[in-house]
Chains A and B, each alone.
Chain A
Amino acid sequence: MSSMKSAGITIDTFKKLFTAGKRFDGRGLMEYRPFEVNFEVSNCAEGSARVRLGKSEVIVGVKMNIDKPYPDSPDKGNLMVSADLLPLASPRFEAGPPKFDAIELPRLVDRAIRESGMINLKELVVTPGEKVWTVIIDIYPINADGNLIDAASIGAAAALKSAVIPGITEAGTPDYKHRTKKKLPLSDETLPLSITVFKLGNTLFLDPTREEEEASETRTTFGVSKWKGSYMINSCQKSAPVCLTRAEIEEIAKLLPKKYDELNERLKKFL
């Protein structure tokens, strides 16, 4: 058993620190930790990326398979995002059926990617109404030191950028041994990233470490992208019962474009 919640005195100290605009690792409240991205970490996946955001580490793989389209979208490919919170990543994660966090994480990443229109799913049709490509994004946290959602979304965007479509055999099944050089039909314009804003007491902060995340009172994840020069919020989800004030939401609205540009610039160096 491991303690999930922070001690009362620790939360009080964090409140005092954040009010003074300080953090234990010397960052500003709205500052992301440095991150690096490596590609081709899995040779079985069609595209993969490993993201290290501070001490948090996530491996994301993209697998392609030929499947039937969903009945409501016969002219579109499928997108599936799944995650497995491995016990090796954190003493907080247990083996067994997925719990709340393990279901929420891939759904947040899924919505941010799907609603941004980054993947043109219509181009993934092999035979209309019968056979379409299914893009499967698998997220594996290797070390959880807070802010897994943002790390996973950076990883998913990077892995998609590096993915290639496998060949098709005569029987109409994917031929994984002979990959084409064809990249996925991705939009060059838009790169969806999620930005998660945390709140403790009266202060907002970004990119928490594990202990900061455990001390935080509420969390809101925004899926942000840029489309034809304007910033878009593609998805948004808030957790925990503590509310955000109107002034705080306005502050977030001003913050999101700046942070999106910053992350985008940093990610583009690796692509």
Chain B
Amino acid sequence: MNQQIDEAQEAEPMETEQSTKKRRVVVPGEVIVSGEDFLPSEGARREGQDILASRFGLAEEAGRVIKVIPITGAFIPRRNSVVLGRVTQITLNGWVIDIDAASSGFLPIDESPRFINKNEMDQFLAIGDVVAAKIWSINVRGIDLTLKGKGLGKLEGGFIFRVSPNSVPRIIGREGSMISLIKERTGCDIGAGQNGWVWVQSDNLDSQIQARKAIEFVSENVHVDGLTEKVEGLLNK
């Protein structure tokens, strides 16, 4: 199930863990490079000759393009992101789902993977249940979600905790390397949503605690080099 959540994530533009590109930590207003040759991308802006950071994060030079990968900040919903959310309300034609974004998500009854009787909607998803859903569209009314897709659906057992949404790509790692390392060593099922909610499930309480520790360690040390080895060291203790 959780393997599938990660597969569903693969459409995401993921930050790779080991990058050969040069990176350094910048604060808003800091000059990253000067010169006409460079182009500001996400999180950067041009002022005269200089390219400045407009967010706190890691500055990255990819050829002529300069961008800043944010370290802090709220979750900004994007189309096709897989998020974890909590059912907060059942309406006539769907579920209202809190996805920890500025507006709540809506999961229409037609977007559930099988036929649901409108009178028995809480049999499928009750208030307080957690789902892995994909953002299907973002419009003025709000965020529409879907459960149609591989690995999406209700999450059974385990628990949910929150990390910074910006550290989620690092938690997943290059092609899921970091998350599968933690899964392998702790024997837990783990799923991470792009909104920073992480789901961990195991029958063993201690391995749940260990998995959470490892994930929080990754989340707090996003900009550290050689993180995989450090996590391995942490898990071997």
- Chain A interface residues (CB < 8 Å from chain B): 1-3, 5-14, 16-17, 20, 22, 24, 26, 211
Contacts and interface: CB of A to CB of B under 8 A. Distances in A.
B86 A211 contact: no
A22 B156 contact: no
B158 A9 contact: yes
Contact of B209 (A2, A5, A24): A24
Nearest to B155: A9
B103 A1 contact: yes
B157 interface: yes
The size class of the interface chain B forms with chain A is 20 to 34
A20 B205 contact: yes
Contacts of A3: 86, 88, 98, 100
A9 B126 CA distance: 12
A211 B126 CA distance: 21
A5 B102 CA distance: 17
A9 B208 CA distance: 13
Contacts of B205: 16-17, 20, 22
Given A9-B155, A13-B159, A16-B205, 14 more contacts: A1-B102, A2-B100, A3-B88, A5-B86, A6-B160, A7-B130, A7-B159, A7-B160, A9-B129, A9-B130, A9-B160, A13-B158, A22-B209, A24-B161
B88 A7 contact: no
A22 B207 CA distance: 12
B129 A1 contact: no
B128 A211 contact: no
Contacts of A5: 86, 128
23 contacts: A1-B103, A2-B100, A3-B98, A3-B100, A6-B160, A7-B130, A7-B159, A7-B160, A8-B128, A8-B130, A9-B129, A9-B130, A9-B159, A10-B130, A10-B161, A13-B158, A13-B208, A16-B205, A22-B205, A22-B206, A22-B209, A24-B212, A211-B161
Contacts of B104: 1
A13 B206 CA distance: 12
Most chain B C-beta atoms within 10 Å of own C-beta, residue among A1, A3, A10: A3
